[in-house]
Amino acid sequence: MPVAAGRDELHLLDSGGFMWRDAVELFRNFMGTGMIVIWFLLAVIYLFINEKRKYVRILFVYMPVTLLLLYFNPLFAKLLFEILGDEIYYRLLWLLPITPVIAYSGISVCWKVKEGKGRRAAGALALGMAAVIVFSGSFVYSNPFFYRADNKYHMPDSVVHICDAIIVPGREVMAAFPPEFVQFVRQYSPLVCMPYGRETIVERWGFESEIYELITAEEIDLEALNRAVLEERCHYVILQSSRRVKGNFADYKWELFCEMDGYSVYRTEYPLITEW
Amino acid sequence: MALQLLILALLLFAVPLLVGGIFTDVDKSVGQLPLRWVSGQFCLWACFQLICVPFVLWSGNFVPMLYLFLGCSLALAALGAARSIAGWRKKKASGAVIPVFRRKPGRAEALLWTLFAAVLLFQLVQAVRMTYTDGDDAYYVAISTTVANDELMYRKLPYTGYSTELDARHGLAPFPVWIACLAKLSGMEAVSVAHLVLPVVLIAFAYGVFYLLGRTLLPAWGGKFPLYLIFTELLVLFGNYSIYTSESFLIARSRQGKAALSGIVIPFLFYLLLLWLKRLERQEKLPGVFYLLLLSANITSCLCSTLGGVLLCMLAGITGLFGAVSYRRWRQLVPMGLCCLPCVGYAVLYLFLN
C-alpha cells in the first residue's frame, strides 16, 4: 500500500502503476472490439489442453503467455517505455501469433470433429468458424481511410494536377499548400518544397509555422501572408478558390497562375529561375 | 510502364528465386518455390541493410550504394543458381517446384484451393484499386521519392525538402531507400512503386510466409492446409479490429517498413523458430544455411524498423530459452544468440547516435 511505503518505494509504485495503466490502455486500444483477441486467448487455452507436439506448444502457448506477462509487468513496461517511448510500446503485441494460432486451432477443432462426426459436421463447423471470424473482426477495406485510387500514383488527382502545373524540370520550387495537401505533395514530387509539412499539422508534435496559422485562419490576411511567404521564399501559394481573403492580390503582385480542382494557384513576387 | 513492370518482376521475383537456391537445404518438407522466393528476398534485404547503413552514416551517396547492392544481388543470384544446378545434377533437390501440383487433390480440396486463390486475387486487385491515406507516408514515401531524385540519403527533411543534418534515427532502418532502389532501377516513379507495386508484391509475399508456417504446422497434405490458409486470409482481411494490428498494417500500409516487420518478418521468424524447435525435438542437425537465414531475418528486422531488432531478439530469446530448457539443448542457444548480435549492434548504434 502506498501509505505504508517509504518515499522511494512510493515513487516506484507510482511510476510502476502509471506504466501499468498505460500498458493496459494500449492493450485495450490494440484489442479494439476485443473479440478476435478473446478467440486468440481461447485458442491458446485449447492448444494448451489438446496440442501434443511440444514445439507447437512452445511457440503458440508458452511464448505468448510469457510475452503477455512481460507486457503487463510494470518494471519491464517502465524500461521499454523509456527506451521506445509510450507510443510504440503496443508493437510488442505484434509478437503474439494471433493469426496462426487462431487458424491452426480452428483447423485442429474441425479435424477432431471430422474424425468423430464426419465430413459434413466438420464442413459446417469450418463455415461457422469462418462466420465467427468475419463477425468478430472488422473488414479492412471498410476503414474510412481507404478509397478508390485516383491514378497510378495513388495520390489525389488535385495534388498531381497542381504539382505538374508548378514544377520546373530540374529545379525545386517552394509552394505553400493548404493543410489537406501537405502529406501528399512531397510523396508525389521531390521538386516541390514546402515551408511547412506534416510536422506542423500534427498538433501534439508542437511545431509552429506562421504560414500555416495564416493559411488556416477563417479569413486570410493577405498582407501578413505575403510577408511570411516571401520570408520563406515561396514561389507559389495554393488556396481554396472559395476562401475569404482580406486584401487584394494585385496589391502584393500575386498573379493567378492557374485554377484547377477548386483551388487557385498564385505566383508570388519571389523570383523563379526557370532556365539553366 | 510494361518495361518498368518487367524489371520490377525480375528484381522482386526472379532475383530472389535465384538467391533462394542457397537456402533449399533449410527445409525440404515445404514447397521449393515459396521457400526460395521468401528466403531469397530475406537474404537480399539483409544484404541491402548491411550495405546501405554505412553509406547513410558515412556519405549519404545513393548511387554507389545502389551499384554495390546490385552487384551483391547478382553475385548472390549466381551463387544460388550454381547451388541449384549442382543440386539438380546430384538429384539432391527434393520436391517439385510447387508440391501441391505433384498429386491430384480431391474435389473438396480443389474447391478450397480455388477459394484461397480467389480471396488472394481479391486482395491483390484491391491493393491496386484502393489506396489508404496514412500520415506516415508523408515521411517514408517522401524519403523514397527524394532519395531517388536527389541521390542523397537522409540529408533532407522529407516533409518540407529543406536540407538537414543526417537523420540517424530513421537512417538506421532504410526500408524507404530500398524502395528508392527499385524505383531507380526500374525507372518507375518511387511513389508508384511504393503505393501500387509493393502492396501487391508484399501481400503475396506475406502469404508465402504463412504458407511456409502452415506447411510446418500441417505437414500432411489434404483439405487441412488450404483451409488453414483460408482462415489466415479471413483473419487478415477482417483484422481491422483496431488500427494497431499487424493485419491492418499489412493491408493498409504495406509500403512502410513497420508493416513489413509486423506482417512479414515476425511471421517469418515464427516459421524459423518452429523449424528450429521441431529439429531440436527430433534431435536433427540444422544446416548452416538455416542460421544464415535466421541472421538474414534478424538483420531485415533492423532494415524495417529501428525497433525491429528489439522485437525479434525478444521473440528469439523467449522461444530459444523455452526450447533449450524443454529439450535440454543449451548449446543450441549459442548460434541463436550469435544470430541476434547484429540486432544488438544496431540498437547500440541507435542509442549512440541519438
pLDDT of residue A147: 93
Q: d(Cα A265, Cα A275) in Å, to the nearest integer? A: 21
pLDDT digits (tens, 9 = 90+) for B160-210: 998 888 887 889 999 999 999 999 999 999 999 999 999 999 999 999 999
B203 or B96, which is more confident: B203
Q: Cβ(B140)–Cβ(B176) under 8 Å?
A: yes
Instruction: Return the C-alpha cell found at B45.
Output: 534485404
Per-residue pLDDT, A205:
83
pLDDT at residue A43 in the model: 97
> Are the CB atoms for A262 and A241 separated by under 8 Å?
yes
How far is B142 from chain A, CA to nearest CA, in Å? 4
* The pLDDT of residue A18: 56
**Degrees, nearest 5: CA angle B335-B338-B342:** 150
Low-confidence residues of chain A: pLDDT under 50: 1-14, 276
Of A103, A133, A86, A131, the closest CA to residue B241 belongs to A133
Query: Do residues A232 and A212 touch, judged by C-beta distance below 8 A?
Result: no
Distance from C-alpha of A189 to C-alpha of A155, rounded to nearest angstrom = 11
Chain B, residues 273-302, CB within 8 A of chain A, namely 273-274, 277-278, 280-281
pLDDT at B101: 53
Q: In this structure, are residues B119 and B58 in contact, taking their beta carbons and an 8 Å threshold?
A: no
As a three-state string, the secondary structure of chain A is: CCCCCCHHHHHHHHHHHHHHHHHHHHHHHHHCCCHHHHHHHHHHHHHHHHCCCHHHHHHHHHHHHHHHHHHCCHHHHHHHHHHHCHHHHHHHHHHCCHHHHHHHHHHHHHHHHHHHHCHHHHHHHHHHHHHHHHHHCECHHHCCCEEECCCCCCCCHHHHHHHHHHCCCCCCEEEECCHHHHHHHHHHCCCEECCCCHHHHCHHHCCCCHHHHHHCCCEEEHHHHHHHHHHCCCCEEEEECCCEEECCHHHHCCEEEEEECCEEEEECCCCCCCCC
From the list B129, B160, B311, the residue facing A196 with the nearest CB is B160
Interface of A with B in 127-186 (CB under 8 A): 129-130, 133-134, 136-143, 145-149, 152-155, 172, 182-184, 186
Nearest alpha carbon to residue A67 among A106, A94, A49: A94
3-state secondary structure of B130: strand
pLDDT per residue as tens digits for the range B205-223? 999 999 999 999 988 767 7
pLDDT digits 0-9 by tens, B32-58: 899 999 999 999 999 999 999 999 998
pLDDT at residue B286 greater than cutoff 70: yes
Confidence of residue B99 (pLDDT cuts 50, 70, 90): low
CA dihedral A216, A221, A227, A231 (to 10 degrees): 0
Q: What are phi and psi of B122, to 5 degrees?
A: -55, -45
User: What gap in Å lies between CA B68 and CA B83, rounded to an integer?
Assistant: 22
Q: Helices (H) and strands (E) in chain B — how many of each?
A: 17, 1
pLDDT of the residue at B354: 74
| Contact between B228 and A83 using a beta-carbon 8 Å cutoff | no
Give the gap in angstroms from C-alpha A174 to the nearest C-alpha of chain B: 9
Residue B163 DSSP one-character state: B
B60 C-beta neighbours (distance < 10 Å), count: 18
**How far, in Å, CA of A54 to CA of B293, rounded?**
23
pTM: 0.91
Q: Which helix (H) or strand (E) holds B255?
A: none
The answer to whether residues B199 and B134 touch, using CB atoms and an 8 Å cutoff, is no
Give me the residue from B162, B235, B323 closest to A99, CB to CB.
B235
- What are the chain B neighbours of A193 within 8 Å (beta carbons)? 160-162
**Nearest one of B153, B160, B204, B159 to B175, comparing CA atoms:** B153
Q: Which three-class secondary structure state does DSSP give residue B152? A: strand
Q: Are A212 and A180 in contact (CB under 8 A)?
A: no
- Structural element, H or E, at residue B131: strand B130-132
Sheet containing A173-176: give its strands across: A192-193, A173-176, A236-240, A263-267, A255-260
Give the dihedral sign, CA B322/B326/B328/B329: negative
User: For residue A258, what is its C-alpha cell?
Assistant: 492557374
Its domain, for residue B80, covers 2-353
Do residues B176 and B52 make contact, with C-beta atoms less than 8 angstroms apart? no
Q: How many domains does chain B have?
A: 1
The answer to whether residue B95 scores a pLDDT higher than 60 is no
Give the per-residue pLDDT at B178: 97
Residues of B in contact with A182 (CB under 8 A): 138, 159
Residue A130 zone, left/alpha/beta (φ > 0; ψ -120 to 50; rest): alpha
What is the pLDDT at residue A75? 86
Q: What does the alpha-carbon distance between residue B258 and residue A81 come to, in Å, rounded to a whole number?
A: 18
Interface test with B, best of A30, A58, A200 (most B CBs within 10 A): A58
Cβ of B236 within 8 Å of Cβ of A99? The answer is: yes
Backbone CA torsion sign across B111, B39, B172, B10: negative
Cα–Cα distances in Å, from A73 out to A19, A24, A68, B208?
9, 11, 8, 35
CB atoms within 10 A of CB A149: 19
Residue, of A87 and B242, whose pLDDT is higher = B242
Q: What is the CB neighbour count within 10 angstroms for residue B114?
A: 11
Classify residue B160 by burial, with Cβ atoms within 10 Å: 0-12, 13-18, 19+: buried
Cβ pair B187, B180 in contact under 8 A: no
Instruction: Enter the ipTM.
Output: 0.92
**Residue B261: pLDDT band with limits 50, 70, 90:** very high
pLDDT value at B13 more than 60? yes
pLDDT at res. B172? 93
Q: What is the Cα B58 distance to its own chain's centre?
A: 26
Name every residue whose Cβ is closer than 8 Å to that of residue B200 and which is 6 or more positions away in sequence. Answer: B124, B127, B128
Residues of B (206-235) whose Cβ lies below 8 Å from A? 210, 213-214, 217-218, 224, 227-228, 230-232, 234-235
Is it the case that residue B98 has pLDDT exceeding 70? Answer: no
Classify strands A263-267 and A255-260 as parallel, antiparallel or unpaired: antiparallel
pLDDT score recorded for residue A13: 41
What is the reported pLDDT for A8?
39
Q: Number of A to B CB contacts under 8 A, please give it.
A: 250
pLDDT at A3 (0 to 100): 33
The answer to whether A173 touches A265, Cβ cutoff 8 Å, is no
Count of CB atoms situated within 10 Å of the CB of B5: 13
- How far apart are alpha carbons A39 and A202 in whole angstroms? 35
What is the distance in angstroms between the Cα of A130 and the nearest Cα belonging to chain B? 7
Give chain B's mean pLDDT: 91
Give the separation between CA B352 and CA B354, rounded to whole angstroms.
Answer: 6
